A and B are shown apart, each in its own frame.
Chain A
């Protein structure tokens, strides 16, 4: 296991190095830099002033030198300064991280809490009215874009309650936080929950036909025990994989959801930073996302071993 872990960590470092190079180069291949964008807002370009700004920001240095400076800074814990706000990148990113983390966590919780039990119900009640309803629900969840659903929710709130559940000031209590994040989390988690529900259902249907389920029933196990202890624990493995992948892909849904619900998290901030070509913000945020994805993947792989005693790494 230790050897496996070491191998995985080494691979992670290599992957992250590759990502850092790709991100760094790709960003600079996109036409225009922050100086162009800043002058564009003024409707004019003064070549001397623009060159001065590029010099001031170090954009006139060779790309290898710029990359070296970024990596060197990262190793020392210095993420650089935002080109736009002139504040340390860490100070810009850090307060936004918990906001997105809470939203993502809640969305993921929503998708698991709804997706798994409803998937089980749908499988156990196969071809009944409730199964049909749940299947239609899951299909609509998969086909509805998060931004559209978000806007629909906002419109419904305003029309029916006169209240709009958007983020406009920092929540002061846990309850406030729940109120602020729950609606957007539901909007972004709806798609994931639909996916989880469908996958749980198909996986459960396969498991429910196995001999050991029949044996369990023959031994007199109750229906909940059969469904949850015997069937679900075996059917959950592919679901866990998908949840891991979904957690990584959640960032895409969060970008639009944070925009629609005006949540000042890192996802929306990343889009703005790309628009401004604010390299220090984009580079560090993308690296952070890459780290999260790689780590989540590792955790999912390790979870397999916990959930399925037959799987043993490094043996």
Chain B
């Protein structure tokens, strides 16, 4: 145990030191200018803690600070890329059950009130539903299920008390979804006029029009941010938005909002633009309602998983730009993805699609289906192209195993209500992971009773493995456990992953200091290192 805590402390200290040194700038950054970005839609509110979409993260992340944060110029998020932010350092207790943060002094909220450890406690009390002040909705409450309490030990020290060791708690705290909120501002005010300690102050949020941020001149990190402000213009029409970017009305597209075909269009019309296509840690998956006959039959679910031709999905929908993997994002961009040699051995992942389908047909025939007796089923999905298009391909592929699918599009706002009620038999779904860490992906999507466990898959033995990997401090040992869990999830057809999406972001060459992350679309928008070379 002591060895473990020393390891935790050493990693923390090393990272703190690395951060103090700061990243080596590639050119001399210039102060000033407004960064103009178009936004894909109007977020429901400005409160990051109450939202679960990067429509809220991207524009509002710059207003806040976390205790710790993923290094903004490191493309891959990992435990090694976590740096202090409102914390100056952290340490684990000998039993790894308490995580103590020493907090930065002299930091002020945008309204001038000093930041203290009480704010940290308030934030996490609200997230853990222990505060009299309540969020309207609290989508990441489960992230802190292992935290019993957060205490403020004086003004500049905060401690997390855990039920069991969880080294990856830091990974969750480093996400763009983990800002520290002020005690003295109500959740309702944070929805409309957020106050933070971050590099940018909130100026204005006009629903369906624009979001404006201005430089925080009192920011604790001297010399940052470089920009005078950021303006997001909300343009829901994708064609208009892309044309406006090409016409240089904007410096940057909305991050990860440029599809593969559109990326080609942009490069053709604006060859000078810098465009990057990266995995977003969002996957397309098949959900089968295991409570609904005949899909309560494991063989039927297995046959459905076996018929998936993942490459065909990627080739048709994304011109070959996608990644095949299990629950965790495939390597090398993902940290925890199943290695190809294991992936190949999982039923349905082998290269011979016809052999897989022959096996699937045998299973179907065993269940009484065949050329003369097809199984008719509605394939439910959300009524937006990114869901609908793969659902159509899925229907086509299911035909090969005597399943006649009929597309059942659900009005987009009702999709998760339908899924949560179990009011579907087979569906096509998208799952986004904010943090490339098994503690987020496994508990959120596969633990018994989780609100996001749409298929109601429940395996108590596997849950014990979830805990084991979560407590494991040795990275390599943890990886092996994670692979074992991921393999079993795919074999159990818990929620067959069809493919992992890649998406593009473009910006003009005079936008500097922006790093597009490769294993999350949620964590890289502090914008304090971004500058305009004009």
Contacts and interface: CB of A to CB of B under 8 A. Distances in A.
A226 to B, nearest CB: 47
A181 interface: no
Interface stretch (B134-142, B158-166, B329-337, B396-404): B134-142
B413 A32 contact: yes
A44 B416 contact: yes
A272 interface: yes
Given A84-B44, A268-B208, A272-B208, A262 B417 contact: no
A4 interface: no
A31 B417 CA distance: 10
B188 interface: yes
Nearest to B421: A45
Interface in A68-125: 82, 84-87, 92
Interface residues of B, number: 44
Contacts, number: 124
B4 interface: no
A44 B136 CA distance: 13
B53 A262 contact: no
Given A168-B233, A262-B235, A264-B206, A154 B240 contact: yes
A135 B53 CA distance: 50
Nearest to B431: A43
Given A45-B417, A49-B138, A260-B237, A85 B244 contact: no
Given A86-B192, A158-B247, A41 B44 contact: yes
Interface in A149-175: 151, 154-155, 157-158, 162-164, 166, 168
A44 B452 contact: yes
A279 interface: no
Interface residues of A, number: 45
A276 B237 CA distance: 17
Nearest to A259: B237
Interface string B231-248: 001011101100110111
A42 B243 contact: no
A85 B207 CA distance: 7
Contacts of A87: 192
A158 B137 contact: no
Interface string A241-284: 00000000000000000011110100011001001110000000
Interface in A19-48: 31-32, 36-46
A240 interface: no
B412 interface: yes
A155 B243 contact: yes
A53 interface: yes
Contacts of A82: 207
A46 B206 CA distance: 28
Contact of A92 (B52, B207, B416): B207
B206 A32 contact: no
A46 B138 contact: yes
Nearest to B420: A45
B414 interface: yes
B457 to A, nearest CB: 16
A261 to B, nearest CB: 7
Interface string B428-454: 000010000000000000000001100
B510 interface: no
A41 B246 CA distance: 30
Interface string B109-145: 0000000000000000000000000101111000000
Contacts of A276: 44, 413
A154 B207 CA distance: 24
Contacts of A262: 233, 235, 237, 240, 244
Nearest to B135: A49
Given A39-B416, A53-B137, A46 B451 contact: yes
Given A86-B191, A86-B192, A262-B233, A45 B451 contact: yes
A168 B249 contact: yes
B415 A42 contact: no
A120 B308 CA distance: 64
Nearest to A155: B243
Given A86-B192, A154-B240, A264-B208, A42 B137 contact: yes
Nearest to A50: B137
Interface string A228-247: 00000000000000000000
A40 B410 CA distance: 12
A146 B188 CA distance: 40
Nearest to B453: A44
Contact of A43 (B139, B237, B247, B249): B139
Given A92-B207, A262-B235, A40 B412 contact: yes
A56 B136 CA distance: 10
B209 interface: yes
B208 A269 contact: yes
Contact of B51 (A42, A85, A92): A42
B208 A259 contact: no
A53 B207 CA distance: 20
Contacts of B51: 41-42
A267 to B, nearest CB: 11
A42 B416 CA distance: 9
Contacts of B249: 164, 166, 168
Interface in B37-72: 42, 44-45, 50-53, 55
B291 interface: no
19 contacts: A31-B414, A32-B413, A39-B137, A39-B416, A40-B413, A42-B51, A42-B52, A42-B53, A43-B432, A45-B420, A45-B451, A46-B138, A52-B136, A53-B137, A158-B243, A260-B240, A272-B42, A272-B207, A275-B413
Interface of B: 42, 44-45, 50-53, 55, 134, 136-139, 188, 191-192, 206-209, 233, 235-237, 239-240, 243-244, 246-249, 269, 411-417, 420, 432, 451-452
Given A32-B411, A56-B136, 12 more contacts: A31-B414, A32-B417, A36-B414, A39-B137, A84-B207, A87-B192, A155-B243, A158-B243, A168-B233, A168-B249, A262-B235, A264-B206
Please provide the 9 A-B residue pairs with the shortest distance between their CB atoms, ordered closest to farther: A42-B52, A42-B139, A164-B247, A37-B413, A44-B451, A45-B420, A32-B414, A264-B209, A40-B416
